[in-house]
Chain A
Amino acid sequence: MKIGVLSIQGAVSEHLKHLELCGAEAVPVKSKAELSAVKGLVIPGGESTTIGKLIQAAGLDKPIKERAENGSLAVFGTCAGMVVMAGEVTDGLEGQPRLELMDTRVKRNAFGRQRESFETELDFKSFDRPLTGVFIRSPIITGAGEKVEVLTSLPEGIVAARQDNLLAVSFHPELTGDRRIHHYFLKMCRQL
């Protein structure tokens, strides 16, 4: 199964490596042609203002949105990816271009500045043991529609959620050796 990692900016190689180790054929995606060949797309961590702007410049916004909405593409956003996928963003750059795929309200840099970035143990729905969440200037979901399933939360808000073929997490599973969330996403891709 061919899975793409949006290759604009950010932790692209880390996601490619994780997906390969999970047994998927992982490819970087920069163009519409590359997008049309994949069944799932990872939007990696990076700067959401940069990624949002360049998704538009590359003409990828419409095809991603169209395929995500007609259910032919699964999308997995980490950190900045969660922001880009959010229906509404607070504390962002005014007019920041986004895909607006999920029925979520997301707060950017919700835990503070870089010195407040942290690691912590999280219980993830349906996993038999906790995982380590690496939070780097991470966003959180402060509001979600009824179609959104909460997968894990911290006292500050929701940090992982799924809406049908869409998955968004605040933290960085690609920075740990634990690949369970990538396996979870691949399962979502297979179910399309």
Chain B
Amino acid sequence: MKEQGTFRVKKGMAQMQKGGVIMDVTTVEQAQIAEKAGAVAVMALERVPADIRAAGGVARMADPTMVKKIMDAVTVPVMAKVRIGHIAEAQILEEIGADYIDESEVLTPADEEYHINKHGFKVPFVCGARDLGEALRRISEGAAMIRTKGEPGTGNVVEAVRHMRKVMDQIRQVVGKAEDELVVLAKELGVSVELLKEVKQEGRLPVVNFAAGGIASPADASLMMQLGSDGIFVGSGIFKSSNPQKVAEAIVKATMNYNDPKLLAEVSKDLGEAMPGLEMSTLTEANRMQERGA
């Protein structure tokens, strides 16, 4: 008998993406460029985060027709985003056969209190996190993959670095604690003791943890991998650059060879104009996407 949608199958799908690059795409042509460049998956969107930022207003799930077109055009898995807490958008994406759902702060949250109960779905979910508490709360809701939130659409890696360092630092603290001390920490972080015990035992998050939110160059990808990321999401960084094909291939190679400076130097050459990018201090509180859905 076949048992579909088990947690092992959902989490396993993310394990198969490790060491790879997942790219935001808005058209069939972009999806095909991403696949040819070696992307392990594409994220189908109507607008990349930089344009969502510029457009303002309410950002929602993409039109299913557009997601379907991309699914038909590539052989790699296709992910798509839903608003935080928007159960119906997630049901729609599962229905059309999207391979992974990103319950994402890049879109305007639908629920300011609750995330989606992701255990009820056969399709796996990825969620953003800024620290260990957020990551484990999302996992207890059923997330099969975690990514840093970073600050999407900025082309500025500083927030992704902050979030990855924070998670790694907290994991090291958990590993160093005695088991009876985990009870207090569990209360502080708002997570279960069982999950903390798992973190202590494995010395890592119980699911795959990617970097996202501001990665724009091969060097950024290498940096995040060196800090302990399992893989990389690139949003606006590829198709907002002047030579997407070349930048895409360079980021894929930099992710695989993140600890090889010679190869990094090679792939970083002559990439053309990168995306312009934003300095964090220019963002008002309301423009920071990472505060959404803690």
Interface residues of A (CB under 8 A from B): 7-14, 30, 45-47, 49-50, 53-54, 57, 79-80, 91-93, 96, 108-109, 112-121, 134-137, 172, 175
Given A9-B256, A118-B4, A120-B2, also A92-B19 (CB < 8 A) = no
A113 in contact with B97 (CB, 8 Å): yes
A54 in contact with B256 (CB, 8 Å): yes
- Could you list 23 examples of A-B contacts with CB < 8 Å? A9-B19, A11-B15, A12-B19, A46-B17, A46-B18, A46-B19, A47-B20, A47-B40, A50-B39, A54-B38, A93-B36, A114-B13, A115-B97, A115-B99, A116-B4, A118-B2, A118-B5, A119-B3, A120-B2, A121-B1, A134-B8, A134-B12, A137-B99
B9 in contact with A117 (CB, 8 Å): yes
What is the total of A-B residue contacts with beta carbons within 8 Å?
Answer: 122
- Tell me the nearest residue of chain A to B122, going by C-beta: A115
A175 in contact with B20 (CB, 8 Å): no
B5 in contact with A115 (CB, 8 Å): yes
Partner pick for B16 among A53, A79, A109, A118, CB 8 A cutoff = A79
A136 in contact with B12 (CB, 8 Å): yes
What is the interface residue range for chain B against chain A? 35 or more
Q: Once bound together, how far apart are the Cα atoms of A115 and B2, in whole Å?
A: 12
A136 in contact with B13 (CB, 8 Å): yes
Whether a CB of chain A sits under 8 angstroms from the CB of B245 is no
Partner pick for A50 among B4, B5, B20, CB 8 A cutoff = B20
Given A54-B256, A80-B16, also A91-B75 (CB < 8 A) = yes
Which residues of the other chain, B, contact A135 by a CB distance below 8 angstroms?
A: 9
Partner pick for B9 among A10, A14, A134, CB 8 A cutoff = A134
B75 in contact with A53 (CB, 8 Å): no
Q: Which of A7, A9, A53, A116 has the most CB of B within 10 A?
A: A9
A14 in contact with B38 (CB, 8 Å): no
Partner pick for B253 among A7, A57, A92, CB 8 A cutoff = A57
Given A91-B75, A114-B13, A115-B94, also A9-B40 (CB < 8 A) = yes
- Tell me the nearest residue of chain A to B21, going by C-beta: A50
Which residues of the other chain, A, contact B12 by a CB distance below 8 angstroms?
A: 11, 117, 134, 136, 172, 175
Q: Once bound together, how far apart are the Cα atoms of A79 and B252, in whole Å?
A: 21
Q: Once bound together, how far apart are the Cα atoms of A93 and B37, in whole Å?
A: 12
Which residues of the other chain, A, contact B17 by a CB distance below 8 angstroms?
A: 10, 46-47
CB distance from A110 to the nearest CB of B (A): 12
CB distance from A26 to the nearest CB of B (A): 16
B87-104 contacts to A, CB under 8 A, are: 94, 97-100
Q: Once bound together, how far apart are the Cα atoms of A132 and B9, in whole Å?
A: 12
B75 in contact with A119 (CB, 8 Å): no
A53 in contact with B123 (CB, 8 Å): no
Other contacts beyond A9-B20, A114-B13: 19, CB < 8 A: A8-B19, A9-B18, A11-B12, A13-B18, A47-B20, A49-B38, A53-B38, A57-B253, A79-B16, A93-B36, A93-B74, A115-B99, A115-B122, A116-B4, A118-B9, A119-B2, A120-B2, A121-B1, A175-B15
Which residues of the other chain, B, contact A112 by a CB distance below 8 angstroms?
A: 97
A50 in contact with B124 (CB, 8 Å): no
- Tell me the nearest residue of chain B to A172, going by C-beta: B12
Whether a CB of chain A sits under 8 angstroms from the CB of B26 is no
- Tell me the nearest residue of chain B to A48, going by C-beta: B75
Which residues of the other chain, A, contact B228 by a CB distance below 8 angstroms?
A: none
- Tell me the nearest residue of chain A to B19, going by C-beta: A9
Whether a CB of chain A sits under 8 angstroms from the CB of B140 is no
B47-64 contacts to A, CB under 8 A, are: none
Whether a CB of chain A sits under 8 angstroms from the CB of B268 is no
- 7 nearest CB pairs, A to B: A114-B99, A9-B19, A118-B2, A47-B40, A115-B122, A113-B97, A50-B38
